[in-house]
Structure 1
């Protein structure tokens, strides 16, 4: 099927490279409110993007879509969302929602002027998910494992994959026929939980969207745009070739992978607990 892939950048040159090699969404990240307080102790991406970045990148996009994550709902949300739409966003993502009322307010502000993506990343969102799905008007949902595992006071974000939480959420969303995805994937061969294992879980769970994590291509590590181009070319080919292999896998193969994921995550969490 091929996952729809998202990559965070506010650099027009990097955005063009991502598009060139088949990244489906270029992601400008405006979320700052509360993020440092929640994630300051973990090594997560904390962007400092602006609405001007959207305007700079949009003219270069002829295949990829522009995805923008706005701030959680606040007194300035309507102004921010209106500005993001005016700047050319194709999709707007709402983080840290916790109630049906939050989602309805977001949908009312957007008012079908572009596609809406809910970033499900709180236990409160999980609890009210069925009522949110009944609202209609939601184009996509992404399960954000970084904040969601913190919300459940877990030590490792992929515990949510191993303990059945992600599977339960996916099953609930799939009944509504809204496309969904979860988490991020590193380049093949990398990650505490190998990227290959996570990609197989996407396929098993019917997920069709994934974020390319910082380790897939950390543009800040390279001194030239040519190096970034080479990294994208290599890593995207490896990923898409691997996905083609998965089309031939059986449900038994995917189940064996799930069991392997559970074992690896258990080992990682035990190590983290021992290090405390």
Structure 2
């Protein structure tokens, strides 16, 4: 499973990739994000084209640039990301295939185009979106939760949503994010990693929790340890995988109870 680290620190970018991460994400998304995520305690980055150039110069890993959601500014952002050396762009907050088609036209094959499925509209049109010539598809749990007006971050992992999107994805697929083994709250990262293995995720992101847990630690030790943990989960028996899945569902249900949000019937069929 490929690990992509959100960072604009050239030293961090160099070391995590040298330690085994697949690449780096530089995050330009902020248009309307503070309003959309008001009171949610989420992370809003302020990365710049200069950051992208510095990260590009620091590593030979794959460099992804998350743009703002589609709009009149997208053409300019595409050109700037390309000029700064991005290998791929990520289009967030997709709501309909036309946004993706127009972005693909703007890119014209000059780099990869990945999308973030993090609205209910995108979930419902996942098959049509997945039919486009994309470089990757990622399900963003935070914004999907907000779009659904839910307090349960991890519910899409167990209500059939993630399985349904994964079933139509024919390009690298990712969801959620990980931190160091032994960390993670309210869902332990081991259970989350086991779920990513179960759904066949090809990649995931390392963000705020990872950076917090990495303070004082060596990426040349910790990144290989994460990769080894994922390899161990891939080798788990069917019985152990079933135990992990039940524990994940229980942890998510408990988090839901703590949120005060009543459990509701799944919007999609429960995976077998």
1:266 corresponds to:
253
Spell out, residue by residue over 1:13-47, the C-alpha distance to the aligned partner (whole angstroms, 9 max, x if none).
12112212111111110000111112232232211
Q: Cα RMSD over matched residues?
A: 1.7
Alignment of 1:19-34 (within 5 A): 19-34=17-32
Q: Given the two structures, how large is their TM-score scaled by the length of structure 1?
A: 0.89
2:4 corresponds to:
6
Measured after TM superposition, the shift of residue 251 of structure 1 is 2.9
1:81 corresponds to:
78
Q: State how far apart, in whole Å, the 2-side matches of 1:45 and 1:74 are.
A: 22
The correspondence for 2:66, drawn from 64, 69, 91, is 69
Contact 1:7 1:26 in 2 (8 A): yes
Alignment of 1:140-151 (within 5 A): 140-151=136-147
Closer, same or farther: CA 186–266 of 1 in aligned 2, 3 Å: same
Look up the SS of the partner of 1:216 in the other structure: helix
Spell out, residue by residue over 1:39-94, the C-alpha distance to the aligned partner (whole angstroms, 9 max, x if none).
232232211000111111212212x1111000111111101111101110001000
Unaligned 5+ residue runs, structure 1? none
1:131 corresponds to:
128
2:183 corresponds to:
190
Is 2:227 the counterpart of 1:240? yes
Closer, same or farther: CA 234–45 of 1 in aligned 2, 3 Å: farther
2:243 corresponds to:
256
Measured after TM superposition, the shift of residue 159 of structure 1 is 1.1
Alignment of 1:201-240 (within 5 A): 201-218=195-212, 227=216, 230-240=217-227
Measured after TM superposition, the shift of residue 232 of structure 1 is 2.2
The correspondence for 1:96, drawn from 93, 97, 118, is 93
Look up the SS of the partner of 1:156 in the other structure: coil
2:42 corresponds to:
44
Q: Which moved more, 1:231-240 or 1:257-266?
A: 231-240
1:152 corresponds to:
148
Unaligned 5+ residue runs, structure 2? 262-272
Q: Which runs of 4+ in 1 moved over 6 A?
A: none
Look up the SS of the partner of 1:26 in the other structure: strand
Measured after TM superposition, the shift of residue 238 of structure 1 is 2.5
Q: Given the two structures, how large is their TM-score scaled by the length of structure 2?
A: 0.90
Q: State how far apart, in whole Å, the 2-side matches of 1:73 and 1:124 are.
A: 14
